[in-house]
Amino acid sequence: MNSARRKVIVMLWGGLLAAITLASADRVLAAPSDSSVIHLTKAQEKSLNIQSIKLSTATLRPVITLYGELRGNPDGVCLLSSPLEGVVANMPGKRWPQIGAVVIRGSSLGEIKPTVSTSLQITLALELTKVKADLAGAKVAQLTSAAAYAREKTLYAHNKAVSLQRVQTAQAAFASAHARVQADVQSIAAISQQLKTRAGGVLPLPVFQSGVVTDILAHPGQAVAADQPLLKIEDFHTLLAAVALPASDSGGVAMGTVIGVRVLGHQHWLKAKPLTLGPQADRQTRGLTMLYVIDNSGALRPGMAITALIPKMGKASARTIIPRSAVIWWQGLRWVYTARGGGVFALRELIHPKALPGGYAVAKGVLSSQRIVSKGAQLLLTIQLQSTLKRSF
């Protein structure tokens, strides 16, 4: 056998042995025994800041875990509209709000420069001319009636065969002519002001609700009609949690109760108050859509995914409560480390854990009487995997 063939055979055997070794290591890492333990000295335990607690028990009602999303609260939607026909404009020194901008109630976001169509302008001008002509006639009638009233009043005072009725009739004619003059003067002022405002004045656009701009429906320089929406503003202090309830579970859920909701990417659970059932069935589950109201601290927005814990109809039972900080996720399962004392820690799988706000609940059993690691469990898993990997080679 020449040297070239020997080299090839050695390389093949080396590759085969490496593959067998890696496969063995993979098997060990993929399926660790829950009886495997870690031994740490007191110094190591202190340096890693490993902490353990004794588990508590509580009587809990059964719950079902459902999923959904956050939605905007319709009560918090406000549309800023144009009060009249005109052109949208920025206020001096300010820019038109952008999506995501926070606006404060009472502040002006822009201006409207009123415009008037040619036909309307002609109509107003003709109306002004007509009223001015009426005013001229009314003033003549006022002067004539004033003279007649003064004459009748003088004759009556000197007993010149003028009855009181004639004096009163003349007085009424003068009062009517005077009222007509005053009405025409006011009409002229109103029409003139309307023409002046529509021709060159501006009207501010105050916002009547604090919130966040979520949609821009018009831009500066754009001509808009009266009552046309310009901006959509939403108040996110409260949001709706929409949870899809499968049709198969609709009969076993306790409706009208406060539930726990956790937003994807957030650690804390929030309380959600029941509101109502959705008007339509969920598209995926074909079951009910239940709506709840949650208070928003400011970081949540519509569209975020949520997990909800809904109480079920059923008898309460005693459960062992495990804090979330003690649970580690590995190989698609949830695990905890029990503290046996003397620096000995054992990995144990949680059997059928039920999610709770702040942790999990499991059936009472062996874990109920043991201490578990509440801080540093992930470090222990890392040490165990490193030790297993070293033994594999």
* Model confidence pLDDT, tens digit, residues 204-253: 888 888 889 999 999 999 989 888 999 999 988 899 999 888 766 666 67
Find the mean pLDDT for residues 195-200.
60
Output the pLDDT for position 34. 43
Does pLDDT of 58 surpass 90? no
* pLDDT bracket for residue 386 (50, 70, 90): confident
Does pLDDT of 18 surpass 90? no
CA torsion angle 318 241 351 340 (round to 10): -80
Pick the closest to residue 41 from 343, 338, 275 (CA basis).
343
Helix, coil or strand: residue 282: coil
Output the pLDDT for position 98. 93
Find the mean pLDDT for residues 20-32.
34
Does pLDDT of 154 surpass 50? yes
pTM of the full structure:
0.52
Helix, coil or strand: residue 187: helix
Q: Look at 388 and 178; give whichever has higher pLDDT.
A: 178
* pLDDT bracket for residue 114 (50, 70, 90): confident
CA torsion angle 96 100 101 104 (round to 10): 120
Q: Which of 94-108, 154-168, 357-371 has the highest mean pLDDT?
A: 94-108
* pLDDT bracket for residue 10 (50, 70, 90): very low
Does pLDDT of 2 surpass 70? no
Does pLDDT of 258 surpass 80? yes
Q: Of the given ranges (2-6, 119-123, 136-140, 299-303), which has the lowest mean pLDDT? A: 2-6
Does pLDDT of 377 surpass 90? no
Q: Look at 12 and 299; give whichever has higher pLDDT.
A: 299
Number of H helices, E strands in the chain: 5, 24
Is residue 270 a contact partner of residue 263, using CB atoms and an 8 Å limit? yes
For the record, the structure tokens of 222 come out as: 């754009």
Is residue 328 a contact partner of residue 287, using CB atoms and an 8 Å limit? no
Cα dihedral across residues 73, 75, 76, 77: positive or negative: positive
Output the pLDDT for position 118. 61
Output the pLDDT for position 14. 45
Output the pLDDT for position 37. 82
Does pLDDT of 351 surpass 80? yes
Query: How many C-beta atoms surround the C-beta of residue 63 within 10 A?
Result: 20
CA distance 211 to 180: 50
Output the pLDDT for position 392. 60
CA distance 234 to 212: 5
* pLDDT bracket for residue 24 (50, 70, 90): very low
For residue 26, the one-letter residue type is D
> Chain-wide mean pLDDT for the chain?
79
* pLDDT bracket for residue 342 (50, 70, 90): confident
